[in-house]
Amino acid sequence: MSISPTDALSVRGLGKRYRLGTRAKRDLWALHNVSFDVPRGQILGVIGPNGAGKTTLLKVLSRVTPPTEGVVEGRGRVIPLLAIGAGFQQDMTGRDNVFMNAAMYGIGAADVEQQLAEIFEFAGVTEFADVPVKKYSSGMYIRLAFSVAIHMQPDILLADEVLAVGDQEFQEKCLTRVEEAGRRGVTVLFVSHDMAAITRLCHRVLWINGGEIVEIGDPETVVSRYQNAAFSVNAAQLSGRRSGAHVSPVGEIVQVTLHGADGGQVGAVKANEPVRLRILHRFSKGGYLARYTLHVKARGAVAFRSRIPEDAAIAEPGLYTAEVVIPADLLSDTMYTVDVDVIGINGREWHPMVATNAVTFQVFAPESQQRDALGGVLAPRLPWQVSRAGSPSEAAPPVADAGTGR
């Protein structure tokens, strides 16, 4: 294979296989038959649900892990932004860590010296340059790690979820810097669950799921189709497996799906619309109480949990559905993954059925709201009131009722 003169990166038939299990070994293809080209100076967005193969793709491209099959050709220095700060030595100062990381990418001390002030200024840690990084706050650590990577003069930048860390102001700085890198001719692969950022930054978008390419094309088209796809990732897998955590001696979780206001199955929802989670499950025995819990996760944390107020009576064996509505104006504009627990209870008998990562879905802000409004994992609509502040003895009547606001 010979890379085109206009391309910075060319991938053909890429596959990555992992062998699972100690006795009964089985193969898991994290990537399979992945092929695409990225011209110089293009920002390619990479999207997909959790476990789709996005991070594995970037690890193979950055040579962190070798491919099982296929060919990758690229031009120039490749700088990965994968596990931010993974290469920092805790007992070394920020300054020493900058020089050490630069040396790893073949950048000499003289070149680093010219950029040192800018690296610390961008990270906002100039006065802590000679302090060991183990004494940094998590925010300082993350900002310096990103600043080091982005200043390493990359020809190809591999950025994995750089918006999932740091505060909102720093996330915006990251976005701007990635945008500037693309304008300078740097080729960027940008992995994110933030669809607004993907649409804003990227020239093209690669949608990957199950280790294979679903679609590659212009951002608005691919993102729109991705947002409208139903990501009940485990539904078919659950219905086809007769053993696992979702199965217990008294029943099994058959399917978990997400539904919009019209009742149709969805994979994305506007933040100001409710969404209904439906659990299809089977009890093989009657005479049990059923306890239902969902765990909603986002950005590496549990955003919230919800348990049914009272256990439901399962008098007879059969197929059942349990539904819960996540209200409008609660979720932020990000990607969520849901775990579901169903416990069959009969006295001291407890039989849990657990579907981990049962459904993944995207929440996006309505057109009337700006991307930089909030961030975070929750954005509940709360009652606000603005009143004129008077003296303690003066009853100040409200001059404006701001209502509720996201």
Same domain, 68 and 88: yes
> What are 208's two structure tokens?
């990957």
Distance between CA 271 and CA 259 in Å, rounded? 14
The CATH number of the domain where 296 resides is what? 2.70.50.60
Count how many Cα atoms sit within 13 Å of the Cα of residue 65 in the half-sphere of its side chain: 17
Nearest to 245 by CA among 343, 138, 325: 343
Is 374's pLDDT higher than 60?
A: no
Q: Indicate whether 143 belongs to any domain.
A: yes
Phi, psi of 31 (to 5 degrees): -135, 145
Shared domain for 219 and 124, answered yes or no, is yes
Global pTM?
0.65
Whether 177 and 305 map to the same domain: the answer is no
* Contact yes or no for 47/29 (Cβ under 8 A): no
Question: Of 177, 200, 228, which marks where a domain is finished?
Answer: 228
Q: What is the mean pLDDT of residues 3-27?
A: 86
- Run of H or E including 78: strand 78-81
β-pairing, 247-248 vs 26-39, is unpaired
Phi, psi of 125 (to 5 degrees): -130, 25
Examine the domain organization and report whether 204 and 254 are in the same domain.
no
pLDDT tens, position by position, 59-95: 999 888 999 999 999 998 888 877 655 668 889 999 9
Confidence of residue 215 (pLDDT cuts 50, 70, 90): very high
Q: What is the mean pLDDT of residues 147-154?
A: 85
Is residue 194 one of the residues assigned to a domain?
yes
22 with 165, same domain: the answer is: yes
Q: Span 223-228, mean pLDDT? A: 80
- pLDDT band (50, 70, 90) for residue 404: low
- Cα–Cα distance for residue pair 40/57, rounded to 1 Å: 19
Q: Compute the distance between CA of residue 175 and CA of residue 372 in angstroms, rounded to an integer.
A: 11
Residue 386 lies in a domain: no
Task: Identify the pLDDT of residue 370.
Answer: 45
Helix (H, G, I), strand (E, B) or coil at 394: coil
pLDDT of amino acid 165: 56
Closest CA relative to residue 245, chosen from 312, 350, 341: 341
| Average confidence (pLDDT) over 97-126 | 90
- pLDDT per residue over 315-332, tens digit each? 999 999 999 999 999 998
**Which CATH number covers residue 134?**
3.40.50.300
Q: Is residue 320 in a domain? A: yes
**pLDDT of amino acid 235:** 47
Same domain, 326 and 185: no
**Which pLDDT does position 132 carry in this prediction?**
94
Domain of residue 267: give its range.
Answer: 235-364
Classified as helix, coil or strand, 199 is helix
Q: How many domains does the chain have?
A: 2
Decide: 259 and 295 in contact? Cβ < 8 Å.
no
Q: What is the mean pLDDT of residues 177-203?
A: 87
- Comparing 330 with 172, the larger pLDDT belongs to 330
Q: Which residue has the higher pLDDT, 394 or 6?
A: 6
Residues 139 and 267 in one domain: no
Name every residue whose Cβ is closer than 8 Å to that of residue 135 and which is 6 or more positions away in sequence.
128
pLDDT exceeds cutoff 90 at 212: yes
298: part of which helix (H) or strand (E)? strand 288-298
> What is the pLDDT at residue 17?
93
Q: Backbone phi, then psi, for 101, in 5-degree steps?
A: -65, -40
Looking at residue 10, its pLDDT comes to: 95
Question: Is 220 in a helix, a strand, or coil?
Answer: helix
User: Which residue, of 228, 263, 290, is where some domain finishes?
Assistant: 228
User: Which of 13-17, 25-29, 229-233 is the most confident on average?
Assistant: 13-17
Is the per-residue pLDDT at 150 higher than 50?
Answer: yes
Chain-wide mean pLDDT for the chain?
Answer: 85
CA-nearest of 80, 73, 78 to 9 is: 73
What is the mean pLDDT of the segment spanning 25-35? Answer: 89
pLDDT confidence bin for 399, thresholds 50/70/90:
very low
Is residue 376 a part of any domain in this protein?
no
pLDDT at 402: 47
